[in-house]
Amino acid sequence: MFSLTHALATAAVTGLLVLATSGANAMHQPRVAQAAQEVHLRNIRQLTFEGENAEAYFSFDGTKLIFQSTPRAGGCDQIYTMSVDGGDIELLSTGQGRTTCSYYYPAGDKILYSSTHHFDEACPAVPDFSLGYVWAVYPSFDIFVADADGSNLQQLTNSFGYDAEATFSPVGDRIVFTSMRDGELDIYSMRPDGSDVLRLTDTMGYDGGPFYSPDGSKIVYRSSRPTTPEEIEDYTSLLVDGLIRPSELEIFVMNADGSNQSQVTDNGVANFGPFWHPDGERIIFASNMDDPTGRDFDLYMINEDGSGQERITFLDGFDGFPVFSPDGRYLVWGSNRNQAREGETNVFIAEWVE
Long-range Cβ pairs for the range 199-203 (8 Å, 24+): 199/258, 200/176, 200/254, 200/257, 200/258, 201/254, 201/258, 201/261, 203/261
Q: What average pLDDT score do residues 328-345 get?
A: 94
SS3 28: helix
Q: Are 303 and 310 in contact (CB under 8 A)?
A: no
pLDDT at 3 over 60: no
Per residue in 49-106, pLDDT (tens digit) is 999 999 999 999 999 999 999 999 888 999 999 999 999 999 999 999 999 999 999 9
Q: Please tell me the distance from the alpha carbon of residue 62 to that of residue 84, in angstroms, as a whole number.
A: 8
Q: Compute the Cα dihedral for 172, 287, 6, 3 and give only its sign.
A: positive
Q: Compute the Cα dihedral for 235, 79, 352, 25 and give only its sign.
A: negative
Determine how β-strand 186-190 pairs with β-strand 198-199.
Answer: antiparallel
Domains, the chain: 4-352 (2.120.10.30)
Candidates 347, 319, 332; CA nearest to 35 is 319
pLDDT at 24 over 50: no
Q: Please tell me the distance from the alpha carbon of residue 58 to that of residue 103, in angstroms, as a whole number.
A: 8
C-alpha pair distances (Å), 217 with each of 10, 159, 290, 326, 346? 37, 27, 32, 16, 32
Per residue in 266-313, pLDDT (tens digit) is 999 999 999 999 999 999 999 999 998 888 999 999 999 999 999 999
Q: Please tell me the distance from the alpha carbon of residue 105 to that of residue 113, in angstroms, as a whole number.
A: 11
Residue 34's pLDDT band (boundaries 50, 70, 90)?
low
φ/ψ region of 191 (left if φ > 0, alpha if ψ in -120 to 50, else beta) reads: beta
Per residue in 181-232, pLDDT (tens digit) is 999 999 999 999 999 999 999 999 999 999 999 999 999 999 999 999 999 9
Q: Please tell me the distance from the alpha carbon of residue 319 to that of residue 336, in angstroms, as a whole number.
A: 7
Q: Are 348 and 334 in contact (CB under 8 A)?
A: yes
Q: Please tell me the distance from the alpha carbon of residue 180 to that of residue 239, in angstroms, as a whole number.
A: 10
For the chain, the average pLDDT equals 90
Query: Which burial class, exposed, middle or buried, applies to 292 when counting CB atoms under 10 A from its CB (0-12, 13-18, 19+)?
Result: exposed
SS3 162: coil
In this structure, the dihedral spanned by the alpha carbons of residues 246, 67, 145 and 158, taken in order and rounded to 10 degrees, is 20
